[in-house]
Structure 1
Amino acid sequence: MKLDQIETPAALIDIARMQKNIARMQGHMNALGVAFRPHVKTTKCIDVVRAQIAAGARGITVSTLKEAEAFFAAGAEDILYAVSMAPSKLPRALALRRQGCDLKLVVDNPNAAAAIAAFSDQHGQTFEVWIEVDTDGHRSGITPEQDTLLEVGRILHENGVKVGGVMTHAGSSYELDTPEALAALAEQERAGCVRAAQRLREAGIACPAVSVGSTPTALAATQLEGVTEVRAGVYVLFDLVMHNVGVCALDDIALSVLATVIGHQADKGWAILDAGWMAMSRDRGTSKQSHDFGYGQPCLLNGTPLPGYVISAANQEHGILSATAEHAHTGEDITQRFPIGMKLRVLPNHACATGAQFPEYHAVTPDGDSVEWRRFHGW
C-alpha cells in the first residue's frame, strides 16, 4: 500500500529511521561493553523486536505479563518483567516459567518479596527476582543505602529465591535538556545501582546483574563500570519529548500518525484533521518543556516538518491544526495551504502513548510502500 491509499488515522513507522535508531543504540552499548535489553513496551510489536534482537539485543524488558506471554510465544525466552510484582499475578508468572520462559520478576518491598517466597515454596518453583533501586526519586524502588534493600534481599535469599540482580530506571532524565545534565544523571544512575549491588554482595547475597537505563541516560552514558546491561525503549522510534530532551532530531522520529484534512474554521485559522486525541493520545509531555508541540508536529506526506504549524488542540476524533503565535502574522490562507483531502503525517509527543491507540502499524519502506505490522493491547 502507498501512503495515499491508507485509511486515516493510521500509525506509521518509517523503517529506515527505525533501523538507524536501533543501530545507533546497539552500537553505543557495544562500545561501552555492556549487554542491551530493549524495553518492548514502546511498540508491543513482534516485527520491531525481531529487528532489535537481530541487531544484537540480549533479552527483552516488558511492562505487562501479556507482553511476556506474547513475546515468549514468538520466541523470546530471556524476559525481565520490570514492574514490581503483584502477588495476585504470580500464577501467571508461574505458568510462563513452567513453559520454559526465563522470566525474571522485580520487587521493591518486603511484602512482595515474602509473597514470592511463600508462593515459591508452596508450588515448588524457584523464581529469579531482581530488586528495583531508586536512583533519582522519580518513581518506585529502594534507594541504595536504605536498610530495606538488605531486608528484601534476605527475605528472598533465605527462602531459596534467587536474587538475580538489581535494576533502576532514571525516569527523571525526561525532565532534562542539556548534555551535561544527562551525563551527570547517567553517572548517578550507574553509581547508585552499582552501590546497591555492592551492599547486597557484602551481605552474602549474590547479585550478578546490574541493570540500568532510560533512553536519555543510555545515550548519554560515557562509562558503565560495574553495569552488566542497559535497558531503553522509546529510542527505537523516538518522539517529540525526546527531541526536546536533546537526544534526537526531528528526522530521527520514526513514528507518525497519518491524518487527513477534513474541514476548516477559516476565521480561526484552523484546519481540521481526522486525528484527535483518540489517535494522538492525550499525552502533552512537551507542555512542560522548552518547546510545546501541542498534540503533535505536522509534516508533509514525505515526512518534512511544517515549521510554524502545530496540532494545537484535540477532541476525540478531531485535531486542530493551526499556526503558532510566531507564524500567525504571515496571514497565509490556511484553507489554501491545507485543502480538504490533503494527507499529513503528525509526529507524536510520546511514542508509547500514541502507538497504544492503534491495533497495527503501517511500516513504510524507503520507496513509499507499506506493510502491516500487528501490535497488541492490554495486560
Structure 2
Amino acid sequence: MNDSTAWFHINNAAGIDSPALLVFPQRVQQNIDTAIAMLGDVNRLRPHVKTHKCTEVAAMMIAAGIHKFKCATIAEAEMLGMAGAKDVLLSYQPGGPKLQRFIELIKKYPGTSYACLTDNTASAKEQAESFTAAGLTVPVYIDLNIGMNRTGIVPGDAALELYRFCAAAPGIAIQGLHAYDGHITNSDFEVRKIEADACFQQVELLAEKIKANKLPPPNIIMGGSPTFSIHCERPGIECSPGTFIYWDQSYLLHCPEQAFVPAAVLITRVVAIPTATLVSTDLGHKSVAAENEKTKRVFFPQHPYLTVFSQSEEHLVLENNSGHIFKPGDLLYAIPWHICPTVALYESVHVVEDGKVVGVWKNVARDRKITV
C-alpha cells in the first residue's frame, strides 16, 4: 500500500497541521449501513454516541432511520437533543447536581424523550422525588451488573424488588433492563459467544421473573461493540454498539467477524531523528489514547514495522529497524487502537471526501458542558 492508493491518503495534507484526526463520511455511512443490516431492524439499534460526540454524525444516523440512542454524559445527551434525536438513554445514574442538570436538559429539549439508569433504591427514590418536584415522569431502566463490576445491581431478588419499587414510584416510568458486558473481549469468537450467552441468561431470567410478578414487561438493552455480533441475533433485544461508527485497530484484530471498517485516522509528522534507528513524531499523550501499554496505542498501516519506543506529552518516538529512511516533515497515517478516548482529545475532526479535506466537524460533546 503506497501513499497514492491508500484509502486514507489526502492530497491536500500540506495545509493541515498535525497531529489531527481525519474522518471519512463515506466509510462512516458504510458502518451505519452494516450495523443496521446485522440487526435486520433499525428499531433494535440504539447506538452509543460516546465514540463520535458529533452532531453531524448523529444526523447521518438519524437520516438512516435510527431514532434511538445511548450516551454517557449530559453533554452527549444535549448533542443528541440538538440533532433532533427522538429517544435518548443516558446510560448513567444521575444524582445530585447531575440529576438537576438532567432535569434541565429534559425541559430544554421537549422533542426528545430522555431516559436514565438506576441501580439502587436510594438513587431511585432521589430520582423519583426530583422528577415529581419538576412536574415530570421520566423513563428509567434498571442498570444490571452482569460481570463488568463497574455499576449496576446483580440480577436476582434485589433487582426484582428495585424494579417493583420503580414501577410504583411517582415520577418514574419503568422501561426495562440495561446490561453492559464490556468485560467480554476475547478474540476467540466462540469463547466470546459462550461468555455473552451466560450473561444474557442472567438478564433473561430476571425478565421472566418480572413478567411472572405481573410487573410492566421490560425492554432489554444489551451489550456493546465486542458482543454486538452475538446479541444482534436475539429477537426483540436492543443493541447499543458505539465504536462501530469509526472502528479502530483493537476491534479490527479482536472482532474480525464484524465487517466494520476504520473511518477515522490520525495524521502525524516526523519532527526529529534522534538516532539512526529512532523516529520522533508529534503524536504525544495529548493526541492519542494512552491508557493501553505503549505498543497498543497506534498502528501505522503503511509502516507496520514501526514500533513504539517511548511516548511523552508531545512526542511519540518510534523504533525503525527496517532501513527505511525518514526525515523531518514526513507525514504518517495512524489508526488508533482505541478510538473513543482519542476522539475526546480533539475539539474537531477534519472531514475527507475524494482524497481531500473539505471541512471540519466539531466534536461538540467532547466538552463536559454545552449549555446545560
Among 297, 300, 322, the residue aligned to 2:299: 297
Matched, 1:274 2:263: no
Matched, 1:159 2:153: no
Deviation readout 1:16-65 (Å, 9 max, x if unpaired) = 3322222211110116x861011001110111112222223231111001
Among 324, 343, 346, the residue aligned to 2:331: 343
Question: Would the alpha carbon gap of residues 186 and 55 (structure 1) be closer, same or farther in structure 2, given more than 3 Å must change?
Answer: farther
Among 108, 127, 143, the residue aligned to 1:132: 143
- Larger mean CA deviation between 367-376 and 348-357 belongs to 367-376
Aligned counterpart, 1:234: 243
Aligned counterpart, 1:36: 45
The alignment yields a C-alpha RMSD, in angstroms, of 2.3
Aligned counterpart, 1:66: 75
Task: Write the distance in 1 (CA, Å) between the matches of 2:231 and 2:340.
Answer: 23
- The alignment's TM-score, normalised by the length of structure 1, stands at 0.86
* Number of residue pairs aligned between Structure 1 and Structure 2: 354
Query: What is the percentage of aligned positions where both structures have the same residue?
Result: 23
Aligned counterpart, 1:10: 20
Aligned counterpart, 1:144: 155
Deviation readout 1:135-184 (Å, 9 max, x if unpaired) = 23443212222x2212221222222221111111110123x111102222
Q: Does the aligned pair in 1 maintain the 2:309–2:317 contact within 8 Å?
A: yes
Q: Does the aligned pair in 2 maintain the 1:163–1:207 contact within 8 Å?
A: no
Q: Does the aligned pair in 2 maintain the 1:15–1:366 contact within 8 Å?
A: no
Shift of residue 130, structure 1, vs aligned partner: 0.4
Task: Write the distance in 1 (CA, Å) between the matches of 2:270 and 2:149.
Answer: 39
Q: Does the aligned pair in 1 maintain the 2:119–2:151 contact within 8 Å?
A: yes
Matched, 1:107 2:104: no
Task: Write the distance in 1 (CA, Å) between the matches of 2:64 and 2:38.
Answer: 12
Q: Does the aligned pair in 1 maintain the 2:119–2:142 contact within 8 Å?
A: yes
Among 343, 355, 361, the residue aligned to 1:367: 355
Matched, 1:356 2:358: no
Aligned counterpart, 2:190: 180
Amino acid at match of 1:348: P
Question: Would the alpha carbon gap of residues 129 and 213 (structure 1) be closer, same or farther in structure 2, given more than 3 Å must change?
Answer: same
SS in 1 for 2:271: strand
Task: Write the distance in 2 (CA, Å) between the matches of 1:248 and 1:7.
Answer: 36
Amino acid at match of 1:63: A
Task: Write the distance in 1 (CA, Å) between the matches of 2:139 and 2:260.
Answer: 41
Amino acid at match of 2:285: W
- Larger mean CA deviation between 149-158 and 188-197 belongs to 188-197
For structure 1, the 5+ residue unaligned runs are 300-304
For structure 2, the 5+ residue unaligned runs are 1-10
Shift of residue 226, structure 1, vs aligned partner: 4.8
Amino acid at match of 2:348: E
Q: Does the aligned pair in 2 maintain the 1:13–1:363 contact within 8 Å?
A: yes
Shift of residue 222, structure 1, vs aligned partner: 6.2
Amino acid at match of 1:321: L
Matched, 1:309 2:297: no
SS in 2 for 1:60: strand
Question: Would the alpha carbon gap of residues 239 and 195 (structure 1) be closer, same or farther in structure 2, given more than 3 Å must change?
Answer: same
Deviation readout 1:100-120 (Å, 9 max, x if unpaired) = 131001011111111112223
Question: Would the alpha carbon gap of residues 52 and 189 (structure 1) be closer, same or farther in structure 2, given more than 3 Å must change?
Answer: farther
Shift of residue 219, structure 1, vs aligned partner: 1.9
